[in-house]
Amino acid sequence: MSAKDAPPPLPEPLLVEVADSHTHMDLQSGTVEEALIKAAAVGVTTVVQVGCDVKGSQWAAETAAAHENVHAAVALHPNEAPRIVLGDPDGRSRQGARRGGGDAALDDALNEIDRLAALPHVRGVGETGLDFFRTGPEGVAAQERSFRAHIEIAKRHGKALVIHDREAHADVLRVLDEEGAPERTVFHCYSGDAEMAGICAAKGYYMSFAGNVTFKNAQPLRDALAVAPLELVLVETDAPFLTPAPFRGRPNAPYLIPVTVRAMAEVRGMGENELAGAIAANTARAFDY
């Protein structure tokens, strides 16, 4: 393992315990137990494990049932819905058939998400939303249909809605308005600017900041964090992705939350304990645990 692939060192522990509001332990190396022990050692005592497809959502629900401090969110990722309907572009046969299952296959998958969303350890429905970066125009209809279905599921079960919004701010906000957002809605890996933070604040949407808030080119994100109401601010790793600076490019995991919390405290000009306390209360309120 070269130094570039090595897990970053343990940061100084936070004195006030917080939650990682969005992680993918199924995509990280090591066991769940190892990840939780390492995270707890630095004050990250709660994690929300997020599923992106049927299998991952089942795994998230099982993992949450087995661990008191793990809560689950279940969904078909915005890039997964078109894949189910249309098939994987990489899986094209020589005839050009894409081997997708059509709308019926999407309905089957949504029914399973609906079943999982009823479970007590499942506290969120997501990540769902729109992603115009990975999904091309041919997948937009399936993506939006899936998003609307997830909003309905979240509302019916009284669970938090976890939004994935990549290069789709206006359309995500439009669909939320059209459907009526659930009582608790979280923009995971918040990627809007300060103006959008004002819109989210007015609607009462939570904004969850990930490691990219530490990136050099992320000033608009820091400007958004600076104006977001404190009671709507969450922190997440989205691990194994988006490792905070100065460890960018190396594997991310929940134990690196303190690095991001400290950078966020600096942006807001407040102490890390005060910020951690607010984040802990906000995450518990958002996911109702």
d(CA 8, CA 5): 9
Minimal distance in Å, beta carbon 127 to Zn ion? 5
DSSP collapsed to 3 states, 117-131:
HCCCCEEEEEEEEEE
With CB under 5 A, what is the number of residues at the site for Zn ion?
3
Minimal distance in Å, beta carbon 271 to Zn ion? 29
Nearer Cβ to Zn ion (161/272): 161
What lies within 8 Å, CB to CB, of 238 at 6+ separation is: 22, 23, 24, 188, 189, 210, 211, 252
Minimal distance in Å, beta carbon 12 to Zn ion? 26
The structure tokens listed for 116 are 């999982």
**Site mask for Zn ion (CB under 5 A), range 109-148, x = bound:** ------------------x---------------------
Nearer Cβ to Zn ion (19/272): 19
Nearer Cβ to Zn ion (29/273): 29
**Site mask for Zn ion (CB under 5 A), range 143-172, x = bound:** ---------------------x--------
Nearer Cβ to Zn ion (53/127): 127
Give the one residue of 238, 247, 280, 282 binding Zn ion; rule: CB under 5 A. Answer: 238
- Please, where are the H alpha helices in the chain? 32-41, 54-66, 80-86, 102-117, 140-157, 169-179, 194-203, 219-227, 257-268, 272-287
Exposed/middle/buried for 246, CB within 10 Å: 0-12, 13-18, 19+? exposed
Minimal distance in Å, beta carbon 120 to Zn ion? 22
Minimal distance in Å, beta carbon 187 to Zn ion? 10
Nearer Cβ to Zn ion (164/184): 164
Minimal distance in Å, beta carbon 82 to Zn ion? 15
Minimal distance in Å, beta carbon 169 to Zn ion? 14
Nearer Cβ to Zn ion (272/283): 283
Phi, psi of 36 (to 5 degrees): -70, -40
Nearer Cβ to Zn ion (134/156): 134
- Residue closest to Zn ion, measured at CB: 164
Tokens 């969904």: give the residue.
Answer: 75
**What are the distances in angstroms from CA 24 to CA 194, 238, 242?**
27, 6, 12
Residue 172's identity, in one-letter code, is V
Site for Zn ion in 24-83 (CB under 5 A): none
**Site mask for Zn ion (CB under 5 A), range 241-280, x = bound:** ----------------------------------------
Residues within the interface to Zn ion (CB under 5 A): 127, 164, 238
